[in-house]
Structure 1
Amino acid sequence: MGSVIAGRLSAAGHRVALTARGAEQLADVAGKLPGPSLCLPADATDPAAVRTVFSTVEQTWGPVEVLVLNAGAAVSKPIAKLTDDEWLGQLDLNLTAPFRAMRRAIPAMTERGWGRIIVIASTAGRVGEPNVAAYTASKHGVIGLVRAAAAELARTGVTVNAVCPGYVDTPMTDGWVERISDRTGKPPQHIRAALERKQPINRLITAAEVADVVDLCVASAAITGQAINVDGGAVQS
């Protein structure tokens, strides 16, 4: 999803700073962008690394105008088997890391009177899902953060929204399928088909369909404080 969103922003004329843990992966994405880019390898859960990413972008191009918070991961376990480290790790990556990035970006955005913050959340932030309690809690939490930030910034020219995909055809979903298959003994193709059936359109969402909503959130000054589902109608709200 991150690479597709980056491509959309680049094609729209934005200079795009890419960050993730893998330098090789970043270079591969940057090589496909039509416009200027920066590759800034960093761990989103490391506060010092996040500060360095922002400082580098600001020194190179100026303040961040569009912030897309896409880093995330899921742990799939029953509640009774979740460790403290797994619980805290999910909150750190899916909730605290977006908070830190927002906190760093907001002052410059409000000073300029324009900014867009988009968090890639999940439909797990809208409903309860079994065996992903830590992930679900973290995504519910980040949607609450989005709503509070949007209310706080409503008169500043800065919008804050969450995009909530269902099951998307990405490597993360591939890994989820493998883990469920290992735990249950069911063939991966059966697991994937079951995930497809969870969505009324009977297929996985594409990364491009998620990027469509990011485009909308960037373009509109009137959409803020929203958690927009991209799930083929699975969660109607």
Structure 2
Amino acid sequence: MTLIGHHAFITGGSRGIGLACARALLAQGANVTIAGRDAASLDRAAEVLREYPRGQAPDVPGPQVGTCVLDVTDEAAVHAAIATAAQQLGPITILLNNAGQAQPAPFAKTSSQHWQRMLDVNLTGAFHCTQAVLPQMLEKGWGRIINIASTAGLKGYKYVSAYVAAKHGLVGLTKSLALELATKNITVNAVCPGYTDTEIVQDAIANIMQKTGRSEEQARAELAAGNPQQKLVQVEEVANAVAWLCQPASGAMTGQSIAVAGGEVM
């Protein structure tokens, strides 16, 4: 329970990697606010999290869970949400920029609107959230900023050029901000999962099935083939890396892009 007294703000926190990270940080004693665009999904996720065992003694109050309906591309809404979350559960000392969206398109058919949407959700949203949270971390003299950047931030993939460009930008932001904050007791890192068993990957599987006529099993195998372990990454495996980076003992880890991808990227 090394994160007691800390408050983690997680975008895209109602499902997949974000929800798994919320569980992992709650288990370490942190208060957690999960943010997302769908209120009903957030409420369902919060119910699950509040029932999740955290190893507390029966007479010890457990860490708290808050929710926040938020579109990370709306700068004013982000700043208002961060301020409200801090009032409810205390200053935010851990930020997980997990909200993301992946929509495939060949480059020649990538519209400027598609391009801008991928940048807005996957890169600019992290910029807004980080700017909103940073003053609280600087005042506390401690912080952890973790960007979920994907292996698409470390290598190229066909037919998702806008997404890849945005995730490469997120890795660049991670490195630059880590240097700016190196003497402030605030670390900035990127966690880069390979194909992970989430709803985004389920959408990719459905797209492969529709365009190629392959079965679901064949489509899943195609995505897993790039992983030397021949499997999709599990959300708990990503959450474990995130939780480790949040530890006080991980203070020397900053500016890093850690692939959780079964050896796909070395």
TM value normalised by structure 1: 0.97
Return the letter of the residue paired with 2:264: A
For residues 145 and 86 of structure 2, the distance between their equivalents in structure 1, rounded to whole angstroms, comes to 17
* Matches for 1:1-237 after TM superposition, within 5 Å: 1-34=17-50, 35-219=63-247, 220-236=250-266
CA contact (8 A) 1:180 1:191 kept: yes
For residues 44 and 178 of structure 1, the distance between their equivalents in structure 2, rounded to whole angstroms, comes to 26
For residues 126 and 27 of structure 1, the distance between their equivalents in structure 2, rounded to whole angstroms, comes to 34
CA contact (8 A) 2:97 2:148 kept: yes
Q: C-alpha offsets along residues 27-56 of structure 1, whole Å, 9 cap, x if unaligned? A: 111112243111111111111221121011
Return the letter of the residue paired with 2:43: A
Report the more deviating stretch, 29-38 or 219-228: 29-38
Q: C-alpha offsets along residues 162-193 of structure 1, whole Å, 9 cap, x if unaligned? A: 00000001111000111122233333321110
For residues 71 and 131 of structure 1, the distance between their equivalents in structure 2, rounded to whole angstroms, comes to 21
**Cα root mean square deviation, aligned:** 1.0
For residues 15 and 170 of structure 1, the distance between their equivalents in structure 2, rounded to whole angstroms, comes to 24
Residue 197 of structure 1: how far off its partner (Å): 1.2
For residues 10 and 53 of structure 1, the distance between their equivalents in structure 2, rounded to whole angstroms, comes to 20
CA contact (8 A) 2:72 2:128 kept: no
Report the more deviating stretch, 173-182 or 151-160: 173-182
- Structure 1 unaligned regions, length at least 5: none
Q: C-alpha offsets along residues 123-176 of structure 1, whole Å, 9 cap, x if unaligned? A: 011011110000000000000000000000000000000000000011110001
CA contact (8 A) 2:147 2:190 kept: yes
Paired residue total: 236
CA contact (8 A) 2:64 2:89 kept: no
For residues 61 and 8 of structure 1, the distance between their equivalents in structure 2, rounded to whole angstroms, comes to 18
Report the more deviating stretch, 145-154 or 38-47: 38-47
TM value normalised by structure 2: 0.86
Which consecutive segments of 4 or more residues in structure 1 shift more than 6 A?
Answer: none
For residues 45 and 156 of structure 1, the distance between their equivalents in structure 2, rounded to whole angstroms, comes to 27
SS at match of 1:31: helix
Return the letter of the residue paired with 1:172: I
